[in-house]
Amino acid sequence: MTILVFSGLLFAGALAAGLLGSLTGLGGGVVLIPLLTLLFKVDIHYAIGASLVSVIATSSGAAAAYVREGISNIRLGMFLEVATTAGAVGGAFLAVYLSTSVIAIVFGIVLIVSAVSSFVKQGDNLLTGPGSRLTRLLKLNGSYPTPQGRQSYTVKNVVGGFLMMNVAGVLSGLLGIGSGALKVLAMDNIMRTPFKVSTTTSNFMIGVTAAASAGIYLKRGYIDPGLSMPVMLGVLVGAFAGSRILTKAKVSTLKKVFAIVILLLAVEMIYNGVNHKL
C-alpha cells in the first residue's frame, strides 16, 4: 500500500468519524481509535495522539457552527471545562504507565455504558422553571432553536454534573476520545439538558479538554504528523457536514445511531484488549 492510498483511506475513515462525532457530541474518537488500531494496526498510543488532534479539529469546526446557530450553552460549557481540564491532565500522565490492553478494555467499558444509556432513554429532556439556587447564581439556564421557535430549558443537578465531568476529563486524557460520551451522558442524564444542547455543548468543550492532554502526548512523541494530518482533515470535513445535519435530525434517531455504532466498537476493543492483540 502506497502512502497516498494509506492517507486516502485514513481521510475517508476520519470523515465518517467526524460526522458521527459531530452528530452525537463524541468528538470522533470512539470511531477513530478502533479504526486506527484494529484496521490500520497503529499502536494505540499513536492512535490516541492522532485522535486528540482530530478532536481539537472537530471542536473548532462543528462547535463554531453550533455557537453561531445558538444551540450550545456557552456558560455551561465554560463552567464544566474547569473540571474536565483538570481531569484530562491527570489522565494523560496516567496513560503513559498503563498497558495498551488495559486502556483498550477501559475504553470498551466506557462505550458499553454509553450505548446502554442511549438505548434505555430514547426521549428528550425539556425541564422549565428557575432551577436551583446554584443554577441561577451561575446563570446556566438557556434556550435553543426548534422548528416551533426558541425553547427555554432548565439545568439541574449542577454539582453531580460537575463531578462527572471530572471523571470525563480523566478518561479523555487516558483514552484520547475527548470524553464526549461521558460529557453527553452527564448533561443529558444528570443535568437534564435537551440532547441537542448536550451534544453541541460537548462539541464546544472537547477541544479544550483534548488540548490539555495533547501537549503531554506531544512531549512523549506520540503525535505523528504523517498520521495526524489526513485524520485531522477528514474529521474536520465530517464535523462541518454533521453540523448541517444535526438541526434537522430527530433526537431518537441520533441516539440509536450513537448506541449501535459504539456498542459494536466496544465489543471489538474489549475482545482485542483481553487477548492482548493491541
Please identify which residue in the block is written with the cell numbers 481540564: 85
Alpha helical stretches, state H, 25-132: 29-34, 44-69, 74-95, 100-120
Residue-level pLDDT at 174: 72
Cell numbers that stand for 144 in this block? 435553543
Distance separating alpha carbons of residues 227 and 188, to the nearest angstrom = 34
Residue-level pLDDT at 176: 58
pTM of the model: 0.70
| pLDDT less than 70: residues of the chain | 1, 24-30, 58, 60-62, 100, 114, 117-130, 172-173, 175-181, 209, 247, 251, 258, 277-278
Cell numbers that stand for 182 in this block? 461521558
Residue-level pLDDT at 203: 78
Residue-level pLDDT at 110: 73
Residue-level pLDDT at 177: 59
Contact 24, 16 (CB under 8 A): no
pLDDT in tens, 185-220: 788 878 888 888 888 888 788 777 677 778 778 888
Residue-level pLDDT at 259: 75
Domain locations along the chain: 3-274
Distance separating alpha carbons of residues 77 and 139, to the nearest angstrom = 12
| β-bridge pairing 149-153 and 142-146 | antiparallel
